[in-house]
Structure 1
Amino acid sequence: MTRTSVVTGAASGIGKATKQLLEQRGERVIGADIRDAEVVADLSEPAGRAALVEEVRRLSGGSIDAVYAVAGLSTATVATVAVNFSGTVATLEGLRPLLLGSPAPRAVLVSSMAALMPSDEELVALLTAGDEQAALARAEILAKEPATTGRLIYASTKLALSRWVRRHASTSQWAGEGIPLNAVAPGVISTPMTADLIATDEGRVGLLKAVPMPLNGIAEPVVVAQALAWLGSVENTHLCGQIVYVDGGSDVVLRGDSVW
């Protein structure tokens, strides 16, 4: 029986690669993005998140098999907090009821190896506590200095996402309903998000000093899409709350023997 999946951020980058890969494998995919998608919705706003859920419900007939929450931003702005954390969590929680009718429901999101980088402790704590308004206010303060404190915003949202997965995957709402909830944490991927950073040899070298990728270097989006597709497949029955680093070795180099 054909599986129906939802992919956010489906218009470009990893989301687009994931949608294309799943469709090539015969799945029905409902893509969502702020443009060029079956569902056009702005995940930075509560109204957009609600619209996403309702439109997916309508298009799917009320039942889906997998959610791939890929949409994200990497700017030193308040919007990065709204989309990366709040938008991702709202997507997963909002669509979770539609997974319950599937014989093999799956949910996966995109974190980042940036979760290993310096972050803002206060912002992470506010996100972890689910206080979106306070988190947005904190991000507004950080964003005033984009070259310094503003650079902490992206890493903070991804760290909070990784913690959210770890804290929720084993609960009755996810594992208790037979839904594996996991995440991938990409390293440097050749997408529109990183295009300016890797446009020159100097830029690539500098970035790879900060994000070492000894195994095959910078990856194409399909590399992450393949990992996402397996996590969202019927074959994945027992991975629960895992953050799978698809990073060419960055995690290993930066953390060595440390596991968490």
Structure 2
Amino acid sequence: MTHDHDLATPVLAARNVRFSYGRGAEVLHDVSLALAPGETVGLVGESGAGKTSLLRLLLGLGSPTSGEILFEGRPLDRRDTRRLLAYRRAVQPVYQDPFSSLDPRMRVGDSIAEPLRSLRLPGGPARRAARVAELLEAVDLPADAGERFPDAFSGGQRQRIAIARALAPEPRVILADEPVSALDTSVRMQVIELFQRLARERGIGMLLVSHDLTIVSALCRRMAVLEGGRLVEEGNTRGVLTDPRHPYTRRLLASVPRLPAL
């Protein structure tokens, strides 16, 4: 845990989290990680490091074997259905693949409005339609995009739609799982800049899970490194990238062709 955020209660935190699937081997070992309100943190590590398992727990899709997930300082109890619903409004995912995360039979406007219905947020069809229009504008898509189906859009545009859907219930936190790795290099930076702008303008905290250190260095002021289910390094992104302390972080850095000047 870093101490420069202790003044603000973290909006989301994992505290001493251990996790294993059934009776299998433990995949997370005593992981603690906190996200301050409006902060963007990068979580890096190779595949199999436990990033996806940690993300599932932070989304409330599973419970730690031991330790706790905390939201606004209070432990999350998944048996408390009312609190879980409020939690799911506040913590929204953006997934890696913009092709499989949208229902191809659903108009884009209905996809974006879907969390408003499923999370039982107040407002009738007219209010939902106004919200969809506002969100399409926020992610730089044309107003008539809501009438079309996902197959009318490119990968980058579909990821913008997924971001609009995540923003619909006005979350406090977005958990983004490799959100640009399925996109062409040319559109990656545009989507990253969109994430940056939205997080800043709306004061949304973001945990960005990525194996791409270039993206983490562009987006995140702080980063944490996961290896084999253990958090091996955490700190200011620039500090970690210019002076990594753990051998695993050094190996990760050595495998990157060339990081942009920090």
Both structures adopt the same fold (TM-score exceeding 0.5): no
Q: Provide the TM-score with structure 1 as the length reference.
A: 0.30
Q: Provide the TM-score with structure 2 as the length reference.
A: 0.30
The higher-RCO structure (CA 8 Å, 6+ apart) is 2
Report the structure, 1 or 2, having the larger helix content.
1
